[in-house]
Chain A
Amino acid sequence: MSSTLETRPGPPPPAASDERVARQSPLSRLLARPEVGALVGAILIYIVFFIVAPPFRQPESLSSVLYVSSTFGIMAVAVALLMIGGEFDLSAGVAVTSSALFASMFAYQFTLNLWVGVAAALVFALLVGFINGYLVVKTGIPSFLVTLGTFFMLRGLNLALTKAVTGNVATNDVSNMDGFDSAQKVFASSFTIGNVSIRITLLWWILFVAIGTWLLLRTRLGNWIFAVGGSAPSSRAVGVPVNKVKIGLFMGVGFLAWFMGMHNLFAFNTVQSGGGLGNEFIYIVAAVVGGCLLTGGYGSVIGAAIGAFIFGMTNLGIVYAGWDPDWFYFFLGALLLGAILLNSFVRKRAEAMR
């Protein structure tokens, strides 16, 4: 398909050293990376808590911070990819709880092996993602509104269905059921290194971040994700299957919501039907702090991971420092604002490279 055309007057020979390139220093090139702001922020916050909160220096504390970070960071992978693809999912937080409730009640009510419930919940979560995506691409209504609708629906479903089935606000304990032990190993076990206990979600988090980053930067799908978020009409014009990519991204959120739901189920054995509320914003905050543009087309999965790590550090660091935890949301908001300002500055630099 390649065909190189010869032009008669030869092109100007590429100058060995182009005088126009010199202006771009390695520093500004580094600054142009989306996650660099978050990285600088994370280091600063780490140093602050290291100084003011002595318990923060313990390896166990770091392990706890990483655990909390991972529970948000895993979802932030999918949410960041979706945001780079130009969409939001406000139902992501309650979808985690929905998946857990679904798996638990499905297996419990039909006295099945828990793995059957786990598999059924996966189908359910992917379906929720598909419906979100399908509605967004077919109606053209902003995903903010569509997923606000599914958010309320899932929230109501979680509460009402749980009460109808169990007569309670939480599901029954599943720890005596078939398949519990093996499922717990996969989704919610821990292991020790030295004498520090590490939760398995950390490994899953690293794995998902690695896959997400590779997907985004090295594969055709990643190219398409950037493109549909950057300009959907242009992408469509050059043959990118825009709708499929977007639906796929919503289903990716569904997949990781399922994964986190399974973690919650097997970490606590029972599921509170009102859980997960508000977490969707924390995923979005992590992605934005990590350099994702709200308007799509720009961002990084590693950045979102750093964003989640910042969230985990602040969340626990305030406790370790002995401050009133009520301050947490104030800091979270300040962080978000700071990140948005920094990102817009960095992006202007990136765009004004010439």
Chain B
Amino acid sequence: MTAVVPETATPLVRLTDAGKNYGNIIALRGVTLEVSGGEVTCVLGDNGAGKSTLIKIIAGLHEHTSGSYEVEGEAVHFSSPREALDHGIATVYQDLAVVPLMPVWRNFFLGNEVRKGLRMDIGFMRETTKKELLDMGIDLRDVDQPIGTLSGGERQCVAISRAVYFGAKVLILDEPTAALGVKQSGVVLRYILQARERGLGVIFITHNPHHAYPVGDRFLLLKRGQSIGYYRKSEISRDELTALMAGGAELEELSHELESAGGASADAAKILGEEVHDLGIDRVSTKEAP
């Protein structure tokens, strides 16, 4: 397991030693990351590891406070998400960034309204929203209903299909499968693969190694705001990834702790240890793998 050697071709997005402080809280420190076209980079880590902070820098929501950020070789300092969007970087935020009281179609096109002269082309936007959501397997009754009335998963699908629709070069997904059922998760993973085939760079944040491993080309592991590993797929196995990840690592720790206590705890530790192992091999849908 060695670190990825930087490529010679200019990547779409390159963070070098990037860091972010919120006042005196260091949320992210010294993270290096590259995303090239036709490549999926997975970012993995515990809750609070700094994953969202990382993608908020790339998406232009926050400015990095140290290190450098380059888009297609050009150093950038985005002061608003608009600038990132104008560079073709679209994001699905963890909180989805939707306006609950607004109709679904208005949310879908918010910030990217299609216009006919001065007016919005409402017919086109309605139909497109309906169609894009159907493609995701979401059959909405009515694209005019406030998005706040959709279920959490449906809302997530709207946010994802919106980013897929507008993401020209780089697509960022912050835990897109967290609230989704099996079928929609499958669709999201397929979207990620299709985006890769179209030559987009994808940054995929997830807690689930079974979602990450099949679609990812590179894996960045974060812990307490720092990078604890950056691997190509060839350099890491699914089991190793699972063990390194949030959950896996913790379970292992937990298992060791229980083991040292002896007695009944040792049995529990055994079960936990098996679980850690099982997590890596079972329940993996290999058909998602490229």
A276 shortest CB reach to chain B, Å = 32
Q: Mark A269-303, 1 if CB is under 8 A from B, else 0.
A: 00000000000000000000000010001100000
Question: Contacts A219-B120, A237-B61 known; A351 to B110 CB distance under 8 Å?
Answer: no
A274 to B80, CA, bound (A): 43
A189 to B164, CA, bound (A): 56
A241 to B82, CA, bound (A): 8
Contact size range, B:
35 or more
A233: chain B residues within 8 A (beta carbon): 97
Contact size range, A:
35 or more
Do B134 and A3 touch (CB < 8 A)?
A: no
Question: Contacts A236-B81, A239-B81 known; A7 to B137 CB distance under 8 Å?
Answer: yes
Q: Mark A227-240, 1 if CB is under 8 A from B, else 0.
A: 10011011111111
Question: Contacts A5-B164, A240-B110, A351-B148 known; A231 to B100 CB distance under 8 Å?
Answer: yes
Main secondary structure of the interface of A (DSSP, over half): loop
B85: chain A residues within 8 A (beta carbon): 238-239
Kindly identify which residue among A14, A230, A293, A297 contacts B134, using a CB–CB cutoff of 8 Å: A14
A350: chain B residues within 8 A (beta carbon): 146
Q: Which residues of chain B from 140 to 154 have a CB within 8 Å of any chain A CB? A: 141-142, 145-146, 148-150
Which residue of A is nearest B138, CB measured? A11
* Most B Cβ at <10 Å: residue of A18, A220, A241: A220
A294 shortest CB reach to chain B, Å = 13
Do A220 and B135 touch (CB < 8 A)?
A: no
Do A21 and B112 touch (CB < 8 A)?
A: no
Q: Which residues of chain A from 285 to 323 have a CB within 8 Å of any chain B CB? A: 293, 297-298
Do B110 and A218 touch (CB < 8 A)?
A: no
B113: chain A residues within 8 A (beta carbon): 220, 223
* Most A Cβ at <10 Å: residue of B61, B119, B132: B119
Do B141 and A226 touch (CB < 8 A)?
A: no
Is B284 close to A, CB under 8 A? Answer: no
Do A226 and B82 touch (CB < 8 A)?
A: no
B146: chain A residues within 8 A (beta carbon): 350-351, 353
Do B135 and A4 touch (CB < 8 A)?
A: yes
A11 to B135, CA, bound (A): 6
Which 10 A-B pairs give the minimum distances between C-beta atoms?
A: A239-B111, A230-B99, A237-B97, A238-B111, A239-B82, A234-B97, A220-B113, A231-B99, A239-B85, A297-B101
17 A-B pairs with C-beta separation under 8 A: A5-B135, A5-B194, A7-B187, A11-B134, A223-B120, A226-B101, A227-B99, A227-B102, A230-B100, A231-B97, A231-B98, A235-B111, A237-B97, A238-B85, A239-B80, A293-B101, A351-B148
